[in-house]
Amino acid sequence: MPNAGSDIVPRIAVDAMGGDFGPHVVVPAAVQAARNGIAVVLVGDAERIESELSRLNTAGLDITVRAASQVVEMDDKPSDALRRKKDSSIQVACRCVTEGVADGVVSAGNSGATVACGMFVLGRIKGVMRPALAGIMPTEKNPVVLIDVGANVDSKPLHLLQFALMADVLSRYVLGVPNPAVGLLSIGEEEGKGNATVRDAFELLRQSDLRFIGNVEGRDIFTGDVDVVVCDGFVGNVALKLSEGLAKSMGNILRTELKSSWLSRLGTLLSLRAFKRFKKVVDYAEYGGAPLIGLKGLVVVCHGKSNELAMVNAIKMAATSVRNKMHEHLAEGLAAHSSLAGKFEKTAKDAA
């Protein structure tokens, strides 16, 4: 991540009850983040949070606790979480932003409910049609932003253009890429490939001032030759889950083979540093979570199985976004392309 762009001390509301491990993992992660100069508001069951804090050295750290009486379970429907659990840890965390108590939210809880609460409580930035989840993917070179990875499953061409604009800002101000290369995920690199939505989005992206390099295929996501890959949320979620499953299977196969003989074990010992570097690259924990961008406040959605490292990095990502004023740059970028959106809408109406 790039160096902080200002002296702002970010204050991040962390859903202490989210994820498979709850306060047992989230609280130590928040303490670790606070040791890195981030102010943290831990939201959830105050008694359980204080119990975890009592085991840790928190002297001099800017950590506060905000009580929430309800928890959104992993199998709760997003609509139920909104209507029936208004005092849930994720809703209260989002309200911390609207109240000015926090600058952003991090949660490893029910992802659908987190997205819904973020949209309902925080609202969208002016001009944003649909907020999108931006997955940070490991590659052979630098991390790539894959957007959308599940917030929208029926995107239109204008939505894909906005996703690209928002991911461009994320890549610049959070990942530190000076001039991100943007690709459109399709079934072939040639112009004209893909369905009608992809073809129309191609034209919009080509007319924008983004560094659009054209269509890319699924295999291109991991080469590091593109910095932003744009797609519909249905496609992006499939790509994300496929890559997670493949990485896990490859790791299991590798571990089995390395234990298969004494010679393999010896080779493992000799290559231990290389294997550690490999794990650091492919481990989702190194990238924290997926920012839900386009809202009036930052929300980072983490994997339900997030460990302490993943949660620390998610909080750091949120803090970097605040320090580098990502939301201000988002609003500026969207305003600069409003005329292009209007032109496309008029053309589409005329064609109909």
Measured between its terminal Cα atoms, the distance across the chain in Å is: 45
Confidence of residue 120 (pLDDT cuts 50, 70, 90): very high
Residue 301's domain comprises: 8-128+294-324
Q: Which helix H or strand E contains 321, and what residues bound it?
A: helix 308-323
pLDDT of 316 over the 90 cut: yes
What's the Rg (C-alpha) of the chain?
21
Kindly state whether residue 311 falls inside one of the protein's structural domains.
Answer: yes
Please state, in angstroms and rounded to a whole number, the distance separating the CA atoms of residues 301 and 330.
Answer: 19
Kindly state whether residue 31 falls inside one of the protein's structural domains.
Answer: yes
Q: Check which CATH number belongs to the domain holding 320 and give it.
A: 3.40.718.10
Kindly state whether residue 105 falls inside one of the protein's structural domains.
Answer: yes
* Residues 105 and 21 reside in one and the same domain: yes
Kindly state whether residue 344 falls inside one of the protein's structural domains.
Answer: no
Residues 171 and 253: beta-carbon distance below 8 Å: no
Instruction: Give the residue from 264, 285, 306 where a domain finishes.
Output: 285
* Distances in whole angstroms, Cα of residue 277 to Cα of each of 137, 263, 273, 280, 334: 16, 22, 6, 5, 38
pLDDT, mean of residues 254-272:
69
Q: Name residue 290's beta-bridge partners.
A: 301
- pTM for this structure? 0.85
Kindly state whether residue 200 falls inside one of the protein's structural domains.
Answer: yes
* Residues 120 and 235 reside in one and the same domain: no
Q: Which helix H or strand E contains 290, and what residues bound it?
A: strand 289-293
In this predicted model, what pLDDT tens digit does every residue of 161-202 receive, in sequence order? 999 999 999 999 888 899 999 999 999 998 889 899 999 999
* Residues 51 and 141 reside in one and the same domain: no
* Residues 263 and 163 reside in one and the same domain: yes
Kindly state whether residue 336 falls inside one of the protein's structural domains.
Answer: no
Exposure string of 25-34, with b = 16+ CB inside 10 Å and e = fewer, is bbbbbbbbbb
Counted domains in the chain: 2
The DSSP result for 150-217, as a single string, is SS-SS--HHHHHHHHHHHHHHHHHTS--SS-EEEEE-S-SSTT-S-HHHHHHHHHHHHSSSEEEEEE-
In this predicted model, what pLDDT tens digit does every residue of 138-164 receive, in sequence order? 877 888 999 999 889 899 999 999 999
| Peptide bond between residue 148 and the one before it cis (omega within 30 degrees of 0) | yes
* Residues 110 and 168 reside in one and the same domain: no
Confidence of residue 11 (pLDDT cuts 50, 70, 90): very high
- When the pLDDT of each residue in the chain is averaged and rounded to a whole number, the result is 86
* Residues 185 and 301 reside in one and the same domain: no
* Residues 299 and 211 reside in one and the same domain: no
* Residues 277 and 313 reside in one and the same domain: no
List of residues 6+ apart from 253 with CB closer than 8 A: none
* Residues 195 and 214 reside in one and the same domain: yes
Kindly state whether residue 1 falls inside one of the protein's structural domains.
Answer: no
Class of residue 330 by CB neighbours under 10 A (exposed 0-12, middle 13-18, buried 19+): buried
* Residues 261 and 220 reside in one and the same domain: yes
* Residues 103 and 188 reside in one and the same domain: no
* Residues 298 and 266 reside in one and the same domain: no
